[in-house]
Structure 1
């Protein structure tokens, strides 16, 4: 191990670990590492102000990590994050309410409709080719339609 690393004060290691964990949260967002990073930074500040043994610092880090994660989880449960666009990654959900043209007749409840430059499978009442239908819901990649 390099001399500069073995001679480094423990509080600098904690502060560095906190910054690295915060940077890792930016690269791999999951809303988890930031709390461990915050616990490491607070541990580093405490170790800077009050000289403590390494086992004591590890204990402080463990307690702060638990408190931060538990507190964040409770807060997020009470204040859920709502999306401005709940169907952002659900193309079928975004089509609800759209009026589409049947490209393959709906027979026995199954057919196809034109969506953009492609076709999607649909389930709904029987309809002839060229009929207009409205999307009422999406079931995975299958659109549920009604006659207009």
Structure 2
């Protein structure tokens, strides 16, 4: 074991682990590591105030991790995070309500329509080329339309 590691006070190890886990949460967000990092920081503060042996430190950390994860999960259920733009990464969902021009006639329920500078596959009632249709929903990469 390196000499610097052997000389490291246990509370500094716990505090460092907590900060490292919090930084890992920033790099790979999942709203999970932050709770374990908080438990490690609290364990570091407790060990700083009341020096315990390693087995008791691990027990304190395990209990605090469980309490933090359980409490965080309950809090998130009671206070769900709502987005100001729920269709942010759903381009097809953002097109609902838009009026499009049919570029390839809709025959047997299938055709294509102009969206921006491209074309998207559409599904809906038969319509001639050049007809206007309104997007009512999206089914994967296919827009469901109705006559406008």
Interval containing the TM-score (normalised by the shorter chain): over 0.9
Q: State the distance in 2 between where 1:123 and 1:143 align.
A: 6
Deviation of 1:4 after TM superposition, in Å, equals 1.1
- The TM-score, its normalising length taken from structure 1, stands at 0.98
Mapping for residues 4-83 of structure 1, pairs under 5 Å = 4-83=4-83
Aligned to 2:146: 146
Deviation of 1:100 after TM superposition, in Å, equals 0.3
- The number of equivalent residue pairs is 148
| 1:4-54 CA distance string (max 9 Å, x none) | 111111000000000000110111111110100000000000000001000
Q: State the distance in 1 between where 2:51 and 2:116 align.
A: 66
- The TM-score, its normalising length taken from structure 2, stands at 0.98
Structure 2 unaligned spans of 5+: none
After superposition, the CA RMSD in angstroms is 0.6
SS of equivalent to 2:64: helix
Of stretches 41-50 and 1-10 in structure 1, the one that deviates more from structure 2 is 1-10
| 1:37-94 CA distance string (max 9 Å, x none) | 0000000000000010000000000000000000000110111101110001100000
Q: State the distance in 2 between where 1:125 and 1:108 align.
A: 8
Structure 1 unaligned spans of 5+: none
Deviation of 1:95 after TM superposition, in Å, equals 0.2
Mapping for residues 56-135 of structure 1, pairs under 5 Å = 56-135=56-135
Runs of 4+ residues deviating >2 angstroms? none
